[in-house]
Structure 1
Amino acid sequence: MVLVVGLGCLLLALALGVVALVLKPPVTAAGSLALIETSYSAAVVSKQEVGASPSWLRSIALRLSPAGVAVRLQRRLDLAGNPPSWTTDRVLAAKGLGLFLGAGLAALLTFRSPGWLVLGLAAGAVSGFFLPDLLLVNAGQKRQEKIRRALPDALDMLTVCVEAGLGFDASLAQVARNTTGPLAQECARVLQEMQIGKSRSEALRSLTERTTVAELRAFVSALAQAGELGVPIASVLREQAREMRIRRRQRAEEQAQKVPVKILFPLIVCLFPAMFVVIIGPGAISIARVLMHL
């Protein structure tokens, strides 16, 4: 009973520690639009005002990490939307905390066997150390997938607004105001960067550095080339929107083609054994009775 209670306390402490150091509050498009009139430096200052993490945990994580870990973490934070409560220092502190909590949990589970104790300490420490990285990568992948799914509809709205007579900046503001999700936040940030003095091409190219969506990168590249060559932006938007709809349909068809393969393994593992028991079971019982009688 004591071991079970101790194990539960350690699991709860690990979960609360990671949640307190890593998880972010939800960021809405309205909040992003409120930042359009402010500078990005003000956002960075407010980000730095979040409660500081223990420096000794960060130093331990830095010593155990390869060179350039801060740059890679910042890149992952950009892909995850650069949320206010996630900073490189806090992620490093979470890695250090996970190191000790994982090792402690493994020691509690394997303290009776000295041989397994060393292996458990190593496995628990490594698992706890890389848990914040996994959470960060997972958040970035989910956000990029949301951007990919919202891009065709956002381009349709952008095309309609431009063809209705609005300028590109005003159309982008309409997209940011009337849609939700990470893409609306990115549009709001592009407008914000243009407000503080960046050119349109520079703000759009900065957007490509914060995403891994190939379709969005191609769209930004087409807009930049259209601006340099003097091509009407409405025709470029119309062609890009049509291409995005085609790609969305192709992705849906690709996912549909994967369904039979994905269903095969659950059928083999779950359905076929039950069918064998029902179909072959009576015959096997009859054969066993005949053989035993003989």
Structure 2
Amino acid sequence: MALYIGLGCLLLAVALAAVALMLRPRVTAAGSLALIETSYSAAVVSSQEVAQSPSWLRSLGLRLSPAGVASRLQHRLDLAGNPPTWTPDRVLAFKGMGLLLGGALGALLTFRSVGWLVVGLCVGAVFGFFLPDLLLVNAGQKRQEKIRRALPDAMDMLTVCVEAGLGFDAALAQVARNTNGPLAQECARVLQEMQIGKSRNQALRALTERTTVAELRAFVSALAQAGELGVPIASVLREQAREMRVRRRQRAEEQAQKVPVKILFPLIACLFPAMFVVIIGPGAISIARVLMSL
């Protein structure tokens, strides 16, 4: 009797396991890629945070924006690294809120006459409407500058790892693991997309769409051409690393050449008046005393 009960329990467990496997959703490569894109491009917002951004503000920002603004905002968010809780809908809501608050603030500051009131209202509304765009562009430019500065060192590490015998994927994983900053995050994302099912060229081409750094775009193009022509990747990496070091030195020299021009205006505005007072001041006092004695 106990044997029959045990066999019945075993069959029931097997049946439940089969049903669970049948009901389990299948994870395909396309679904995994969509999950990665969603995790990077859209922030997880709670219901309370959604309630803080009324839909009518988003509708207001959307109506006053040109067609295709959502895709352009998403591209700017990709350039900025997709900051937490920043989504195209939220940016549009902030644009609508900035329009109202900026217009009200401009009207309050210029509450003198009807003409000044209209001017202040228009200027404040325009400034408040485009302020989220300015902040988003500024965040993207700062992130791209960080990528540009970190690229030569990452290229050196990538070249050393490949020449030491690692494959390109393993070398890229070392760069993502041993460095910090936006470039390490982009390398980690490229590795995730390659592990899910994208080819190397597709993952690297997607990387170029998320950056404006010319050196990184040239590096991806060189890798694609090397793969098509069968050129050893180690030599390509060595040449690219040498070229990026040269470009970094040239940028440093360019910045050094700009220093005298940048110092000129503070020097004229701050130092020269004090020098004129010290040098010409005693003579001016003596001349004034002589003229007053006459």
TM-score by length of 1: 0.84
| Residue correspondence of structure 1 range 266-281 to structure 2 within 5 A | 266-281=266-281
Q: Which residue of 2 aligns with 1:11?
A: none
How far apart are the structure 1 equivalents of 2:58 and 2:274? 53
Cα distance, 1:48 vs. partner?
Answer: 5.6
3-state SS of 2:158 partner: helix
Describe the SS at the equivalent of 2:82. Answer: coil
* CA deviations over 1:233-271 (Å, ceiling 9, x no partner): 011101111111111011101100110000000001111
Asked whether 1:39 is paired with 2:32, we answer yes
Describe the shift of the 1:151–1:44 C-alpha distance in structure 2 as closer, same or farther (beyond 3 A). Answer: closer
Q: Is the 8 A contact 1:102 1:128 kept in 2?
A: yes
Report Cα offsets for 1:124-182 as digits up to 9, x if no partner: 11111111001000000000000000000000000111111111001101100000000
2:78 alignment counterpart = 78
Hey, what does 2:13 align to over in structure 1?
none
2:44 and 2:85 in contact (8 A); partners too? no
Q: Distance in 2 between matches of 1:113 and 1:271?
A: 42
Structure 2 Cα separation of the partners of residues 291 and 178 of structure 1:
76
Q: 1-side partners of 2:98 and 2:195: how far apart?
A: 41
CA distance in 2, matches of 1:93, 1:204: 33
**Corresponding residue number in structure 1 for 2:152:** 152
Q: How many Å separate the matches in 2 of 1:180 and 1:78?
A: 18
1:24-77 superposed Cα distances (whole Å, 9 cap, x missing partner): xxxxxxxxxxxxxx9342245553641433211111111111222222212211
1:208 — aligned with what?
A: 208
Q: Which residue of 2 aligns with 1:246?
A: 246
- State the alpha-carbon separation in 1 of the partners of residues 245 and 141 from structure 2: 21
CA–CA separation in structure 2 for the residues paired with 1:286 and 1:206: 75
- Output the amino acid matched with 1:39: S
Amino acid at match of 1:271: L
Give the letter for the 1:291 counterpart: L
TM-superposed deviation, 1:113: 3.2
Mapped contact 2:43–2:86 kept (Cα < 8 A): no
- 1:113-262 aligned at under 5 Å gives the runs 113-262=113-262
Aligned residues: 257
How far off is 1:118 after superposition? 1.2
Q: Secondary structure at the match of 1:212?
A: coil
The alpha-carbon distance between structure 1 residues 85 and 43, as it changes in their structure 2 partners (threshold 3 A), is farther
Aligned residue for 2:66, secondary structure, equals coil
- 1:87 corresponds to which residue? 87
- Partners of 2:104 and 2:181 lie apart in 1 by 39
The amino acid of 2:210's aligned partner reads R
Q: Distance in 2 between matches of 1:268 and 1:199?
A: 58
CA distance in 2, matches of 1:234, 1:202: 20
**C-alpha separation in 2, matches of 1:261 and 1:40:** 49
| AA in 2 matched with 1:292 | M
Contact 1:152–1:248 (8 Å) recurs in 2: yes
Q: Give the AA of the match of 1:98.
A: G
Partner of 2:6: none
- Structure 2 unaligned regions, length at least 5: 1-30
Q: Is the 1:40–1:193 contact (alpha carbons within 8 Å) kept by the matching residues of 2?
A: yes
Asked if structure 2 preserves the Cα contact closer than 8 Å seen for 1:39 and 1:192, the reply is: no
**Matching residue's letter, 1:137:** V
Work out the percentage of aligned pairs sharing the same amino acid: 85
Q: 1:105 to 1:118 in 2, by over 3 A?
A: same
Residue 287, structure 1, aligned to residue 287, structure 2: yes
Equivalent-residue separation in structure 2 for 1:77 and 1:48 (angstroms): 11
Question: What is the letter of the counterpart of residue 60 of structure 1?
Answer: L
Larger mean CA deviation between 168-177 and 114-123 belongs to: 114-123
Q: Give, as a single letter, the amino acid of the residue that structure 2 aligns with 1:88.
A: P
Partner of 2:14: none
Matches within 5 A, 1:6-45: 39-45=32-38
Aligned-residue CA RMSD (Å) = 1.5
Query: Which structure has the greater CA radius of gyration?
Result: 2
